[in-house]
Amino acid sequence: MARKPYQQDSENHERWLISYADFITLLFAFFVVMYAISVVNEGKYRVISTALGDAFGGKNKNPANASSAIDPLIPLPTLIQKKRAEAMRRERERLTRLAQDLSSTLAPLVREGKVRVTQNSRGVSVEINASVLFDPGDAALTPDSKEALRALAVLLKNDPHAVQVEGHTDTTPIKNALFPSNWELSAVRASSVVRLFIDSGVAPERLTVVGHGANIAVAPNETAEGKARNRRVAVTILSALPDTTTEIPTR
């Protein structure tokens, strides 16, 4: 039987279309992914905004309308700054109301110049002259001072802020069996105030005691009046949102 002559297949010049189609498909997929990444996810943006508000002291009181309060065009750092500024404004207002209540409660002593109530970025400070609280060279609270401190404790008891109690003395040396130096005297005086606060219902974990001795004077120690001014106890209600600090690199 005669063999059929072999015929070579003609070359296909359109094979490049297969590679081209694959390339176009991959390119399309790439742009779809890039578009998906670039689109703002409003749901996630809303969650972040709500979390930031809660973290900086705000509460999302109307979740149903939360999306209307969010502008997706606002950069996230700007949103954080606005949230923090608003939280700090509310915190200052709360502390101002507390300072007014403290001034009103201690009004007789304020008028006599024995108590000073001030407010700054650190919080609210109630500075009480030691003559109101203690006998000279002693750290036991006098009976009359306990009434004023209990009135102060009533205001602090239900307040959430941390409280730091600082004792201060003048430069007159002291050295006896109870107080080897002004360091011990200032620390024990501050501790006496803290113990009364705890007995009056202030949570112990909110309280801190610091003894400064004669290191932080507010008046010259060369005069009797200046020394009397320096002998004091400062009760500071610390702000929950202190001013931010900037870290300075060492290199």
pLDDT of 62-115, one tens digit each? 554 544 455 555 666 677 788 888 888 899 999 999 999 999 999 999 999 999
Q: For residue 44, what are the domain limits?
A: 18-73
Residue 8 lies in a domain: no
Is it the case that residue 199 has pLDDT exceeding 70? yes
Residue 127 lies in a domain: yes
Residue 107 identity (one-letter amino acid): A
**Domain with 226 in it: what CATH number?**
3.30.1330.60
pTM above 0.75, yes or no: no
Q: Are residues 96 and 205 in the same domain?
A: yes
Determine phi and psi for 128, rounding to 5 degrees. -115, 125
Taking a C-beta distance cutoff of 8 angstroms, is the pair 123, 95 a contact? yes
- Model pLDDT for residues 160-180, shown as the tens digit of each residue: 999 999 999 999 999 999 999
Taking a C-beta distance cutoff of 8 angstroms, is the pair 107, 152 a contact? no
Number of domains in the chain: 2
Q: How many residues does the chain have?
A: 251
